[in-house]
Structure 1
Amino acid sequence: MQRPPKLIALDIDGTLLRWVEGLGMSHEQVTPAVYDAVQRVLDSGAHVVLASGRAPHNMTVVADLLDLHGHGDRVWIVASNGAVVLRYPPVEVVHEVTFDARPAVAAVLEQRPEALVAVEERGVGYLVSAPFPEGELGGRMTVTRVEDMVAEPVSRVIIRDPSATADDFVALASRLGLHGTDYIVGWTAWLDLAPVGVSKASGLEYVAGQLGVDPAEVLAVGDGRNDIEMLQWAGRGVAMGQAVDEVKAVADAVAPSVDEDGLAVELSRWFPAPGSAGMDA
């Protein structure tokens, strides 16, 4: 990438927001360095698009923290790992992909019968088979039978086993195959089930098409396994410094960690603060 990007796709947890140690959730607080860098991007006329595994109602608060809509345009948001694309404010879902999750959920629960299951309840919270660990899901949790949760097509299913590890889930998903379903393993024993071919990259491709932006003109920054396709798709994909090795391996560059305001460092490369010359790309 030789010129400043026209679209900047940003992961939230671990990229924009710091993780709370031991709780698996993040501070709903943006550091001044990151906030100022994002404002310089917006001042330039480039688009900032949030891209996260979060549900839509857990992403609009971050858009508000960053004042993404302060320049007059409605924000584009890629939620649920690409299965849902919305405009905000107000919330308007403009694109959604759903799938029949019943076979995949049954296959996972056969191996992990104690695992927790959650499906988004749009704008409210989540339907859950049992309460998740505190802070891991935003909004209201409503205990529901798994059969009822997935009786109709859904855009995403979360499976969580607090007694397992991320490596356990990587091995489980690989062993099962989960035909007809894509999956992503998170930092913990957290498995996202999604429609085949759906990822942050597919959601961003939809947005870029609406905005007339070529993937070569996109900068994407993230730190999780669910960012891999996005980093590969973008003209410049940057992994955060604390990302796992398999994420760093597909990135064009590695920024400092979230604790070192790595996102601000990368954005300043292209959108320098007044009086600074920026950094070589």
Structure 2
Amino acid sequence: MTGAQDFGPPTVVALDIDGTLLDHDDGLSPAVLDAVRRTAEQVPVVLATGRAWSTTAPIAQRLRLPAGGFVVCSNGARTIRYPDGAVVDERTFDPTTVIRSVRRYAPNARMAVEDADGSYLVTAPFPDGDLGANARIRVVSDAELAPQPVTRLIIRDPDQSESDFVNLAERLGLHGVSYFVGWTAWLDIAPEGVDKSTGLKVALAQLGLDPSGLLAIGDGRNDIEMLNYAGFGVAMGSAPDEVKVAADEVTKSVQDDGAAATLNRWF
């Protein structure tokens, strides 16, 4: 663990989006918006998210991130140059075996994969807003879901709880892939060994920066590796306990502008 007194000033900042910058209603407070914009005027800001590029780019635009930076999408499976959308790095896997296991252990679950153009193929419609407010979706059969390797497989069941999905991940016996349980009944399956730190390593190499100067802020289980990779990792106040344990510090919740409180310390 690194103490705040032993770190800084940051040379680069990595920010999760949902639950860190945006609340669960996609609200972005003026305080957080101002803090991120001021930070981006001084050091590179890299958004590191489970979102697809298609739903990450509008957030980067809203934050007025400078051209020539990078965003890490799909939980690290895609590192993309902003704003032109050029894919700098991409990691994929064959989800066929996982899809069969999901149908065995969670027959009512909905599944989705990202298509190359940022749209989604889904086995059934997801709850409104789950895949992004303006996400393009196409409903397909299980057999049509992943005819070729994908960057991630999303599993969702609105009738189940977060703890149900923690148990589901254990029952699925997920070998050869990485997985992240979301804040609700949501499970992200990624290529083996791929997480947000994977994409951040690519982005920092492109920027010529060292992770010792990286400040990272996140709230989810899919942020744990990012927080460990960073020179200083900060968990949001509403994060699960295992995320807080992985962090060097815990800030306030997204409702209380925790990301702004952290950024305002240095910027």
SS for the counterpart of 2:10 is coil
Residue 263 (structure 1) aligns with:
259
The answer to whether the 8 A contact 1:104-1:181 is kept is no
Return the match for 1:95 from 82, 89, 94: 89
Residue 275 (structure 1) aligns with:
none
Q: For 1:80 and 1:195, how far apart are their aligned partners in 2? A: 10
Q: Which amino acid aligns with 1:174?
A: E
Q: For 1:106 and 1:222, how far apart are their aligned partners in 2? A: 32
Q: Which amino acid aligns with 1:153?
A: P
Q: For 2:73 and 2:7, how far apart are their aligned partners in 1? A: 29
- TM-score w.r.t. the length of structure 2 is 0.94
The answer to whether the 8 A contact 1:160-1:191 is kept is yes
Q: For 2:192 and 2:118, how far apart are their aligned partners in 1? A: 26
Q: For 1:89 and 1:216, how far apart are their aligned partners in 2? A: 26
Deviations 1:163-219 (A, max 9, x none): 111111111212332111111110111111100010001110111111121111100
The answer to whether the 8 A contact 2:72-2:78 is kept is yes
Q: After the TM superposition, which segments of 4 or more aligned residues of structure 1 sit over 6 Å from their partners?
A: none
Residue 215 (structure 1) aligns with:
211
1:11 matched to 2:11: no
1:250 CA drift (Å): 0.7
SS for the counterpart of 2:8 is coil
1:68 matched to 2:65: yes
Residue 53 (structure 1) aligns with:
50
Return the match for 2:127 from 107, 127, 133: 133
Q: For 2:173 and 2:9, how far apart are their aligned partners in 1? A: 40
**Structure 1: gaps (5+ residues):** 21-25, 272-281
Return the match for 1:39 from 34, 37, 40: 37
Return the match for 2:161 from 158, 162, 165: 165
The answer to whether the 8 A contact 2:178-2:192 is kept is yes
1:124 CA drift (Å): 4.8
Q: Which amino acid aligns with 2:33?
A: Y
Return the match for 2:227 from 225, 231, 240: 231
The answer to whether the 8 A contact 1:83-1:203 is kept is yes
1:154 CA drift (Å): 0.4
Residue 173 (structure 2) aligns with:
177
SS for the counterpart of 1:78 is strand
Q: For 1:54 and 1:235, how far apart are their aligned partners in 2? A: 24
Q: For 1:161 and 1:205, how far apart are their aligned partners in 2? A: 32
Q: For 1:193 and 1:267, how far apart are their aligned partners in 2? A: 31
Mapping for residues 147-158 of structure 1, pairs under 5 Å? 147-158=143-154
Q: For 1:206 and 1:140, how far apart are their aligned partners in 2? A: 28
Q: What root-mean-square deviation, in Å, do the aligned CA atoms of Structure 1 and Structure 2 show?
A: 1.2
Deviations 1:46-94 (A, max 9, x none): 110000000110000000110002xxx3230000000011012221111
Once structures 1 and 2 are overlaid, which stretch shifts more, 190-199 or 105-114? Answer: 105-114
The answer to whether the 8 A contact 1:16-1:263 is kept is yes
**Structure 2: gaps (5+ residues):** 1-5
Deviations 1:122-148 (A, max 9, x none): 335211101111111131221111222
The answer to whether the 8 A contact 1:57-1:122 is kept is no
Q: For 1:5 and 1:222, how far apart are their aligned partners in 2? A: 16
The answer to whether the 8 A contact 2:105-2:171 is kept is no
1:245 matched to 2:250: no
Q: For 2:51 and 2:195, how far apart are their aligned partners in 1? A: 13
Q: Which amino acid aligns with 2:60?
A: A
Q: How many pairs does the alignment contain? A: 260
The answer to whether the 8 A contact 2:113-2:121 is kept is yes
Give percent identity, aligned residues only: 52
The answer to whether the 8 A contact 2:113-2:122 is kept is yes
